[in-house]
Chains A and B, each alone.
Chain A
Amino acid sequence: MGTTERTAMIITAATALLTLTLSLLYRFTDLPLWPRRRRGSERPAVDWGSAPDLPAYSYAALYELAVRRRDALARAVRCARDAGLPVPEPLTVNLVETRGQDGPQEGAYAALALSAADDFLEDCLPPDTVPTAEQLAEFEQRAGRPYDRRAEEGIALTDVVGSLEVSRIGMQALACLTEGTALTLDRPCFHHPLHARGTERVLCPPEACTAESPEDALVDDDFVTVCRNCADGTPAPLLVWTQAGEVPYYRTEFETKAVFRTSGYGAAALEWDADDLLRAFVEWPTFEVDHGDGNGNGNGDGDDNDRTEATA
């Protein structure tokens, strides 16, 4: 063996030893082998509280919180996928097949919740946008009335609250998925989904059950969940600004938001499970559920009078 070959073997052995050491350290330890971007410390803290400490529940503050929660849920879903947990891609979730499938469905629920949160925020008016003159003219021509920023934000407020609620459901689903437990809905307060959670059950408020059309009526529950404060004292409903002033969200008549007043964000549909509620949020207005059999299976073979469906 010549000098050149011997030198080549020494270099080969040295580089192989160094590479193997680095690769095993990378595989089995968390030692920082090269400078990393500090992503973790830059992640903004997210308030997941049921009743976030926000000034007067302003639209801008709620919108910002909804975006933060949606982003946190998106990051958690991505991490769960990277960690090998069964979380399908939102576009591949077959809503019809989620029920009755083998294995935990909480991953699919998290993906559905993220999809719903995305949809709700997509419909919302970002608080810092200023419509152009062309957009204002188009709006007036379409709506037949002058553009009213506050009224538009009032319409969007129900979507923002919906996004806040489904983001919570998505995080709960992921928590259940990691713990190996089944997701049980933690229902909000019917009067205001941003109150404490609905731990009390009361009769459905009469003003919420007087829709003009039977299709707009609440689902046929007699009871809704409310927070302790609303159960003990005067309820403080989520007020939405409309052309006629502030009204509770369950008295608005925006057809595209019928799912919120119908379900009370989950508080008025006590027989719905997570699958029903997320399907309603994602698939509305084509979602149909039959309450004739009283078990909320949504098989759609019941009497038309018992059917609640979107009118949008």
Chain B
Amino acid sequence: MNTVDWSRALAGLLLGPLLVLVFLHPFSLLVARIVRGRPLPPPRPSRRACAELDALLGEFERTGATAGTPSPAPASPAPSAEAP
């Protein structure tokens, strides 16, 4: 009966991610680029930054970009004093 040397076999736990990092992930991106025929979408941090920027600009467009906000009724009396 063959016994497994787990101290060596578990080295695969490190080897698997290493393979992905060095070979499989770049190769997948290359394949995706070729299959799609157009540039890849931006990475997730960039997409997230774009989404947050869109939200901020959307809020700006909604609340402040219009020039038609009515000005408040003049509440203060006309100035009566000069600057010192």
Contact = CB atoms under 8 A, between A and B. Distances in A.
Task: Answer yes or no: are A and B bound together in one complex.
Answer: yes
Interface of A: 2-5, 7-20, 23-24, 26-28, 30, 40, 45-51, 56, 72, 75-76, 78-84, 168, 171-172, 174-175, 178, 186, 189, 192, 195-197, 199, 227-230, 233-237, 239, 242-248, 251-253
B83 A252 contact: yes
B56 A51 contact: no
A28 B76 CA distance: 57
A234 B78 CA distance: 9
Given A11-B12, A27-B29, A253-B84, A175 B59 contact: no
B65 A8 contact: no
B68 interface: yes
Nearest to B67: A197
A295 B57 CA distance: 32
Interface range for B:
35 or more
B70 A196 contact: yes
A78 B12 CA distance: 40
A270 to B, nearest CB: 16
A50 to B, nearest CB: 5
B74 A15 contact: no
A20 B70 contact: no
Nearest to A247: B83
Interface of B: 2-6, 8-13, 15-17, 19-20, 24-25, 28-29, 32, 41-50, 52-57, 59-61, 63-65, 67-76, 78-84
A79 B81 contact: no
A237 B79 contact: yes
B80 A15 contact: no
Contact of B71 (A24, A195, A244): A195
A174 to B, nearest CB: 6
Given A3-B2, A4-B4, A15 B64 contact: no
